[in-house]
Structure 1
Amino acid sequence: MKNPFNKAIGHMPPNFTAGFDSGLGFVTALSHFLKGEDFEGLGTMPAIKPLASIINLLPRKLRETLYVESTGAEGINPNETGSIEAEEFSKAVVNMYPKRKYPAIIIGSSSGAVSHLAAAMGIPFLPQTHLIPINRPSSLSVDDPKATMEWGIPSGEALLKNNPQLKLHFMMDPAQDRLTLEKVGFFRVKMQRVDLAYERFIIENLQEGGTIIISNCERKWPVTTINKRFSFQFGCVGGADQEDYFQKTDRTAAFLEKYNANVRSWDPPKTDSHQPESEWGFDPAISDDILRIAKDNDYGVREWKFEDADDPSPFVAELYKWFYHKNGVLTNRLVVESFIMHDPYWMLKTGSIPFWMKFNMETSAARLKEYLEKSDQYDEIYLMLFSHGTEGIGFTGIEDWKKIIGKSRYKNDFLGVDTEKFPWDLGSMIMYNKDFQEKITDRYTFGTPLTFEKLDGFYLEFQKNSPFKDRIVMQTLKEGGQLNNTSKPTISNPSE
């Protein structure tokens, strides 16, 4: 099966998309929630659930091979990039969402925390960025960024020639994506303007006087400019620091030695500027088009601005806790998500409070630990961990994760994680959904969605009192007409 999302979506994404793309993953989970549907294990078919435990019985080397081959199967021929019509991705995204009038629509940077905000408000999210995986030749070393950049230039130029609305960020990360890089390269493209599919969806589904919300992650990364619409990014946000990628550090040397690499540091192309980070960063070039659409249709425009993709996570967790209590859901259970292991449906169905981490490394662990230390103690904490088959720089092991979630008052556990297999726990991508349902037995019905009035009120209090008040800025860029929230209910009340 080319893309594990195909069966779940019901609308076939174009063959140049990747099932492990964060933006597509959040859209798929959120769209299922807005339709009142479960999103089983990253959208894989329920029939393959029994395979999860079998996969983890395989020797580690075979599991690594399975991971490499399954992600490699997502790649396209580098000679075919010139035939890609990128708007097909936008068409697939909007076709996932139910067609009805929404009080607001989010567009911009992907973030699991923003996706949970969208779920609470009952509104869609349209990603600016998506991933196009390109088949890499086996002769190309995963530790040679200069050769990799040169190899990707012809395919990138062909892609851009046929898609003038895009900017291409060719990303390579041999620390976190070491296994995946054996088969595919990462072309991440950012829309420079709102294409016809997105614009039509906004106009047809945003209610009169509604609001377009810009999700603006300001994270940047040093890049090598190939041309004005094409750059090469070596490394990315996660466990390794920028100096680990660009300098000779002890951590990099130890990592490369562990993986029997022929080098003890990397020699990337010289960088010449900082640009929006390839996966999470927002490119403001699209803003003019958003403002044009808003002006032409009398929509309001708001901006949610944050430095890192997981910066809004403390705000969203506290918001859910507050809104649950306002609606009579007296819950004190935190569910921590990791990367694309993300489930807004069961989060709300079980009355659980979400805390999203962008990955599984020490930076994510530190942020979760900080939140738990500065917030009221939770009765229960559950944790999902994305397995990517590599003990990368900044890797955080199971025992450290156990200590962190051990800060709960009564109970803590993992969802879908085989603690003996992590980070080679391929079954976790299927099992987290099953564990969510079986280990957390509370059930609630979906009631009234979160309104802007309530969101704004909570935000003001958060800005006054929270130690995380600087993590997210919410501001109005343009006033629209009066909102009347008639969206389908999407937030939890206790079931009778």
Structure 2
Amino acid sequence: MRKVRPGLTAAGAGLAGDRIVAVGSTARILVAATARALRGVDCADLGHVGPVSRFAGTPDPVRRAAAARSAARVALTAEQATEVDAARVAQWFVDQYPRQRYPGVLLGSPHGGAAHLAIALGMPWLPAGFEMTAHWPHGAVDRPRAALDHGAGFAGRLLAGNPDLHLRQVHCPASRGALAGVTVALAGRWRALPAAYRRFLAERLAPGAPVLVLGDARTWPVLDAADGHSFQVGCPASGLDPVDFHPDSHALRQVLRSAGGDGAHWEPPEITAPPAAAEHGVEPGFERGAREWTSRHGHPLHRVLFSAPGVLSAAIADLYRRWLRAAGKTGDRLVVECGRLLDPWQVVRAGLVPYWCENATRRSVEQVEWWLAGSEPFSSVDVLPEPPGVRSPALAGLPQWLAIAAFGRRRRALDRTTARGYPVTSVPTRRATEVLRAQAYDLPTPRPLAVADALAALRDSGTGHGLLIC
């Protein structure tokens, strides 16, 4: 068994939260970025360059091997499954926020726009789940059945000590590349509102402050493997459709070849049930717990459901433009962020309009293009494409990213550092901070938005495109 680094495990208390939650996962990055922004601090200390960044010019097998070694070092071992405590993870998220009273709180699915919305409202954001990776010795990217078998053993040990979790295992070589053959990816979703969250709401919310629950409404074919453990092949973030993970799919063969696999071995388990909520959905019990708590304590609750990430991103960008202009600013400068490349504090400090892409897939970038085509023009457009570290037929090419920047009337900027080695390198979150620090100051920052005004703006912009607010 690998030794755990000193300082990461509390004696007799299991693994610490920062050891359990996957490095670079969306929820982890968003909590860190939001907490920093509420302190008036940027993300200059966030993220580290992965090993593949040092192998941009080397053959694919060399890069894949380097990425696999790095992933295996930080993944949880089978023995550590019994040391995972979801309650400690919830407390770790909560403890990152300044101890003060807040005018509300956002809970739910991970989305970069949620961090920007939280800062505009002066609120924290807390996820309804978290991601983990588990070590898979002798794994193979092209054997989803074997991934399910290995994940089931890990899930059984983890769920024995965490009955309040639902574990969704995702085997997706299109979004994870070779890493899908050395680790299994698990999204832990709370089936009830964690105790740490209930204490946070009781101690940190102002009287009558609202609670907003953001929900990712996307669906995907899912296999219920066991009580509390489900499995899906592929994911919406891959930029592909469920049919693309069929053994006869040309796109799948391309994906497996680039990840070092072989399509001839691909035999996914049969899934006959109707599509269910994808991995970043909110468990009904979590939402029910939030509703029951707010009802008992006199706080209003609002649900914001999005059918695609771009729908919420566009609505929040429109909201920012309205908010900035109401404060006497131009609202005429756009930054297009991607994945982990975001910095909510620098966006507010510079008076920018943020649009967040979930990833670098063509589907994500096309959503930006459609939104820009229908929006009032921006004088400047800065684009930060996060290299995914993998090759896939679903990815946007650099010309498509350049087309986004071309919407700027005066300034059109595609970050050269992120473009260098795209799509196979890796770039830390702090790269977004470095780029945005170069933007001119536009102070003072606007006063926080009222929740009623924010919800009205979201309705105006997003209702016709699939954003549901209730």
TM (normalized to structure 1)? 0.86
Matching residue's letter, 1:474? I
8 Å CA contact retained: 2:140, 2:261 = no
8 Å CA contact retained: 2:130, 2:189 = yes
Change (3 A) 1:71 1:101: same
Matching residue's letter, 1:27? V
2:367 is aligned with 1:346: no
In structure 1, the residue matched to 2:335 is: 335
2:442 is aligned with 1:474: no
Partners of 2:415 and 2:149 in 1: how far apart?
A: 42
8 Å CA contact retained: 1:220, 1:277 = yes
Partners of 1:41 and 1:371 in 2: how far apart?
A: 32
Using the TM superposition, give the Cα deviation of residue 275 of structure 1 relative to its aligned residue in structure 2, in angstroms: 2.4
Change (3 A) 1:382 1:249: same
Q: Which runs of 5+ in 1 are unaligned?
A: 7-11, 476-496
In structure 1, the residue matched to 2:170 is: 171
Alignment of structure 1 residues 306-455 onto 2, 5 Å: 306-415=306-415, 417-427=417-427, 429-438=429-438, 440-455=439-454
In structure 1, the residue matched to 2:277 is: 276
In structure 2, the residue matched to 1:29 is: 33
SS in 1 for 2:103: strand
Partners of 2:257 and 2:73 in 1: how far apart?
A: 28
Partners of 2:362 and 2:53 in 1: how far apart?
A: 29
Moved more, 449-458 or 221-230: 449-458
Partners of 2:81 and 2:67 in 1: how far apart?
A: 24
Partners of 1:53 and 1:277 in 2: how far apart?
A: 28
2:43 is aligned with 1:39: yes
Q: Output one character per residue of 1:7-26: Cα deviation in whole Å (capped at 9) or x when no partner.
A: xxxxx734221121111111
Change (3 A) 1:264 1:385: farther
In structure 2, the residue matched to 1:302 is: 302
In structure 2, the residue matched to 1:13 is: 17
In structure 2, the residue matched to 1:75 is: 75
8 Å CA contact retained: 1:385, 1:417 = no
SS in 2 for 1:209: coil
Change (3 A) 1:37 1:146: same
8 Å CA contact retained: 1:219, 1:281 = yes
8 Å CA contact retained: 2:167, 2:188 = yes
SS in 1 for 2:231: strand
Change (3 A) 1:314 1:384: same
Alpha-carbon RMSD across the aligned residues, in angstroms, is 2.5
2:100 is aligned with 1:100: yes
Change (3 A) 1:335 1:256: same
Sequence identity (%) = 20
Partners of 1:270 and 1:421 in 2: how far apart?
A: 38
In structure 1, the residue matched to 2:119 is: 119
SS in 2 for 1:337: strand
SS in 2 for 1:336: strand
Greater share of residues in strand: 1
Change (3 A) 1:24 1:260: closer
Using the TM superposition, give the Cα deviation of residue 282 of structure 1 relative to its aligned residue in structure 2, in angstroms: 1.9
Moved more, 85-94 or 389-398: 389-398
Using the TM superposition, give the Cα deviation of residue 403 of structure 1 relative to its aligned residue in structure 2, in angstroms: 2.0
Change (3 A) 1:405 1:41: farther
8 Å CA contact retained: 2:253, 2:262 = no
8 Å CA contact retained: 1:174, 1:235 = yes
Q: Output one character per residue of 1:89-125: Cα deviation in whole Å (capped at 9) or x when no partner.
A: 1011000001111121111111111221111001011
Change (3 A) 1:129 1:207: same
Q: Output one character per residue of 1:342-366: Cα deviation in whole Å (capped at 9) or x when no partner.
A: 2101111111111011110111011
2:235 is aligned with 1:236: yes
Q: Output one character per residue of 1:354-387: Cα deviation in whole Å (capped at 9) or x when no partner.
A: 1011110111011111111111121111111222
Partners of 1:264 and 1:442 in 2: how far apart?
A: 56
Q: Output one character per residue of 1:274-304: Cα deviation in whole Å (capped at 9) or x when no partner.
A: 32211x2222221221122112211111111
Partners of 1:199 and 1:419 in 2: how far apart?
A: 43
In structure 2, the residue matched to 1:489 is: none
8 Å CA contact retained: 1:256, 1:264 = no
How many residue pairs end up in the alignment?
456
Change (3 A) 1:260 1:181: closer
8 Å CA contact retained: 1:168, 1:187 = yes
8 Å CA contact retained: 2:141, 2:179 = no
In structure 1, the residue matched to 2:196 is: 197
Using the TM superposition, give the Cα deviation of residue 214 of structure 1 relative to its aligned residue in structure 2, in angstroms: 1.0
